[in-house]
Amino acid sequence: MTILQIIFIIIFWGLICSFISLAPWVPTKKSDLERIHKLLHLQKWQKFLEIWCGTAQVSLYVANKFPEAEVIGIELSPILYVFSKIRVFFSGQKNISIIFWNALHLDFSKYDVLYVFGLPETISQKLFPKLEHWLKEKAYLLSYCFQMKNNAFIEEKFKEKAEWNSIYKYSQKAKS
Ligand SMILES: C[S@@+](CC[C@H](N)C(=O)[O-])C[C@H]1O[C@@H](n2cnc3c(N)ncnc32)[C@H](O)[C@@H]1O
């Protein structure tokens, strides 16, 4: 097998894997980044995780807006992972790292704020069961566009009249 064939298999596997796993690559709209910023309250040293980071557009934006927070993006497609790493390197941003891994195998309890743009079925059926067990107290998840079916979190919906889509915020219910 030649090196070219190996590279082709790795890339092809990555694309297929990420497509069937959670969501195909469709980026968050650039014009919505400011809306996301307004919903974030990131303190010094808090950890922000972009669960399927694609080209790291959102992660880089957040890292830039909150230079004292730690930003982590995780991506399963090798092409998008390498693209994100190069993009981060040339941005010069120091408080951001990109991980090549299956987001569903991550320990979410380490993070304070999570962001996801995934299909409604995948976030409801695959992501929710993990978050239900691992989302730490006072942590919250922002879901771009899509609602996550769940019975465990407080859901808030953010959408102004002029906006075409919603952003959902999920946080822990107060423990009684
Ligand atoms: C809808 S895109 C969102 C990209 C980015 N978050 C944004 O908003 O611009 C979903 C991304 O998730 C990646 N992905 C799918 N399944 C994954 C998994 N299990 N672990 C990590 N990344 C995954 C895909 O490769 C794709 O880049």
Over residues 27-37, mean pLDDT: 96
Cα of 38 from ligand 1 centre, angstroms: 22
Residue 36: count of CB within 10 angstroms of its CB:
18
Q: How far apart are CA 118 and CA 124, in angstroms?
A: 10
pLDDT tens string 49-77: 999 999 999 999 999 999 999 999 999 88
pLDDT tens string 75-101: 988 889 999 999 999 999 999 999 999
- Ligand 1 is surrounded, with C-beta below 6 A, by 18, 21-23, 25-28, 50, 52-54, 57-58, 74-77, 80, 102-104, 117
Q: How long a stretch of residues is the chain?
A: 176
Cα of 26 from ligand 1 centre, angstroms: 8
Q: Is the pLDDT of residue 13 over 80?
A: no
Give me the domains of the chain, ranges plus CATH numbers: 3-172 (3.40.50.150)
Cα of 75 from ligand 1 centre, angstroms: 6
Q: What is the pLDDT of residue 64?
A: 97
Cα separation values, 14 from 6, 20, 80, Å: 12, 10, 9
